[in-house]
């Protein structure tokens, strides 16, 4: 029986994982047993590594949070595991899109991470947009300004991830915090520069995940996560139970909330309900069984 050592998955290419161990970065594949259980590691996972050469990932520790999206072919894709803070980065230039931000907010609530809205490129637009989101908002300039508004949201030992469209400045933020030009920066608007997820341990003692710009974030969320992301709407008492705040006569909410947020809420609520209906109950049961098997296997030593 070989010994196991704890490591963290920092990047992934097909079925090869870069893992950070106390002795530096190594490349690892997964053991046959893990592959049999059909639960593959994701960037951010803490894993048990065999001390063989090359090392193998033998087990995945239970996740404290999990940022996912719905895959086009059905099922879900894990984008990042064990994220404490989800930085939702917008560019204050042409990119700024409040509806997209609302979508990311829902997915962040679903993941279990604390969402923080980061308005980057404040040097380009001195007057900031008024946002009525239910999360902390900070404006920065990754090129020229202080990043304190961002860094003060994370405690040492925690993990943060940068989500947002291509070109908003995610990798520029990473390089600033690393104090080194480790990530390539985009110069051509609309071109995706970062193509793979990469997790860094920063000199300040916390972890930061650079994500590629996502073209699409298909919602993979519960009704509760949608409600939570729109607390200023959903926490209000209305005249009707289950009011959609649409054309119901005498609705007490419709006229007192930001109309853009309300329309965003309705759209995401509909998308969420549709995805839930489409989900096959038998598939949901199978998924539950699969997790039971995984948790049982994780409890066995070695």
Ligand X SMILES: Nc1nc2c(ncn2[C@@H]2O[C@H](COP(=O)(O)OP(=O)(O)OP(=O)(O)O)[C@@H](O)[C@H]2O)c(=O)[nH]1
Query: Is residue 101 at the binding interface for ligand X, with CB under 6 A as the rule?
Result: no
> Of 119, 126, 79, which Cα lies nearest the Cα of 95?
119
* Comparison of 111 and 171: residue with beta carbon closer to Mg ion: 171
3-state SS, one letter per residue, for 167-179: CCCHHHHHHHHHC
Query: Is residue 272 at the binding interface for ligand X, with CB under 6 A as the rule?
Result: no
Helix, strand, coil percentages for the chain (3-state, nearest 5)? 30, 25, 45
For 214, which DSSP code? Answer: P
Residue 96 Cβ vs Zn ion, minimum distance, rounded to whole Å: 29
Q: What are phi and psi of 137, to 5 degrees?
A: -125, 135
Q: How far are the Cα atoms of 95, 115, 272, 299 from residue 84, in angstroms, in the given order?
A: 26, 9, 24, 25
* Comparison of 178 and 238: residue with beta carbon closer to Zn ion: 238
Write down the H helix ranges in 191-258.
Answer: 223-229, 231-234
> Of 29, 78, 84, 79, which Cα lies nearest the Cα of 58?
29
Q: Binders of ligand X among 144-203, rule CB under 6 A? A: 166-172, 185-187, 192-194
**Tokens 């239970």 sit at which residue?**
62
Residue 187 Cβ vs ligand X, minimum distance, rounded to whole Å: 5
Query: Is residue 165 at the binding interface for Mg ion, with CB under 5 A as the rule?
Result: no
Query: Is residue 118 at the binding interface for ligand X, with CB under 6 A as the rule?
Result: no
What are the residues facing 89 on neighbouring strands?
118
> Of 205, 173, 170, 159, which Cα lies nearest the Cα of 66?
159
Query: Is residue 15 at the binding interface for ligand X, with CB under 6 A as the rule?
Result: no
Query: Is residue 269 at the binding interface for Zn ion, with CB under 5 A as the rule?
Result: no
Query: Is residue 123 at the binding interface for ligand X, with CB under 6 A as the rule?
Result: yes
Write the binding mask 204 to 243 for Zn ion: x where contact by CB under 5 A, - elsewhere: ----------------------------------x----x
How many whole angstroms separate alpha carbon 162 and alpha carbon 142? 13
How many whole angstroms separate alpha carbon 140 and alpha carbon 149? 7
Write down the H helix ranges in 82-165.
Answer: 98-111, 148-151
Residue 165 Cβ vs ligand X, minimum distance, rounded to whole Å: 7
How many whole angstroms separate alpha carbon 296 and alpha carbon 262? 43
Of 11, 18, 65, 171, which lies in the binding site for Mg ion, with binding defined by CB under 5 A? 171
How many amino acids of this chain bind Zn ion (CB under 5 A)?
A: 5
Residue 225 Cβ vs ligand X, minimum distance, rounded to whole Å: 24
Residue 186 Cβ vs Mg ion, minimum distance, rounded to whole Å: 6
| Of 96-104, 124-132, 171-179, 272-280: span binding Mg ion (CB under 5 A) | 171-179
Residue 246 Cβ vs Zn ion, minimum distance, rounded to whole Å: 8
Query: Which one of Zn ion, ligand X, Mg ion, none is in contact with 55 (Cβ closer than 5 to 8 A by kind)?
Result: none
For Zn ion, the binding residues (CB under 5 A) are 238, 243, 245, 251, 253
For ligand X, the binding residues (CB under 6 A) are 120-121, 123-124, 141-143, 166-172, 185-187, 192-194, 212-213
């Amino acid at each position: 029986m070989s010994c196991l050592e704890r490591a963290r998955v920092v990047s992934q290419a097909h079925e090869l994982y870069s893992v950070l161990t106390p002795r530096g970065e190594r490349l690892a594949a997964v053991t046959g047993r893990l592959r049999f259980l059909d639960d593959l590691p994701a960037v951010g996972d803490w894993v048990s590594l065999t001390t063989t050469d090359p090392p193998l990932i033998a087990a995945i520790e239970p996740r404290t949070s999990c940022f996912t999206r719905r895959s086009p072919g059905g099922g879900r894709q894990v984008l990042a595991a064990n994220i404490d803070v989800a930085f939702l980065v917008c560019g204050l230039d042409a990119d700024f899109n409040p509806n997209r931000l609302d979508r990311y907010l829902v997915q962040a609530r679903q993941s279990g991470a604390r969402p923080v809205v980061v308005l980057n490129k404040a040097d380009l637009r001195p007057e900031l947009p008024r946002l009525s989101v239910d999360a902390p908002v900070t404006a920065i300039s990754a090129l020229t300004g202080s990043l304190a508004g961002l860094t003060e949201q994370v405690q040492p030992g925690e993990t943060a991830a940068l989500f947002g469209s291509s070109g908003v400045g995610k990798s520029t933020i990473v390089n600033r915090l690393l104090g080194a030009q480790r990530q390539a920066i985009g110069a051509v608007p609309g071109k995706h520069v970062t193509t793979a997820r990469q997790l860094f341990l920063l000199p300040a003692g916390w972890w930061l995940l650079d994500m590629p710009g996502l073209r699409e974030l298909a919602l993979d969320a519960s009704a509760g996560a949608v409600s939570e992301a729109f607390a200023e709407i959903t926490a209000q008492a209305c005249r009707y139970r289950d009011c959609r705040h649409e054309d119901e006569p005498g609705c007490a909410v419709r006229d007192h909330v930001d109309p853009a947020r309300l329309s965003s809420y309705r759209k995401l609520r509909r998308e969420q309900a549709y995805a839930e209906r489409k989900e096959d109950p038998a598939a949901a049961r199978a998924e539950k069984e699969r997790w039971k098997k995984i948790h049982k296997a994780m409890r066995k030593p070695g």
